[in-house]
Amino acid sequence: MNEQRRAPRKRPDYSVTVMDAITGQPLGHLGNLSSNGMLLIGQRVPRSEAVYQVSLPLPKHDGTAPTIEIGIQEQWHEPAATPGQTWAGYRIIAIGSGDASQLEHWLQQA
């Protein structure tokens, strides 16, 4: 398969719940993450091209789990193999410099 993404994605080795920062409700569980996008597995279908402000913890090897906050926009979604779940791809459209640094550090961890 030919990779079409601009940046490689990393799968977390733990469960990460991505929260809607506005409503305080879970948006989904992180499937993978890159410097410019993410895959979420959720219980609800997102609106096409919807914009969300989300927060998610990025655990480090030292046991800390700083939370970053980013703006994302839905790019696509489709039903997952598990009934009642949806896979959705999002593009990161806004991230502060401190959160971007934390994300880059997390992506470089083995």
CA atoms within 13 A on the CB side of 56: 29
Mean pLDDT of the chain: 91
Closest CA to 88 of 37, 17, 53: 37
What confidence tens digit (pLDDT) does each residue in 31-57 have? 999 999 999 999 999 999 999 999 999
**pLDDT score recorded for residue 110:** 65
What confidence tens digit (pLDDT) does each residue in 14-34 have? 899 999 999 999 999 999 999
Q: Is the pLDDT of residue 99 over 80?
A: yes
How far is residue 74's CA from residue 38's CA, in Å, rounded to a whole number?
A: 10
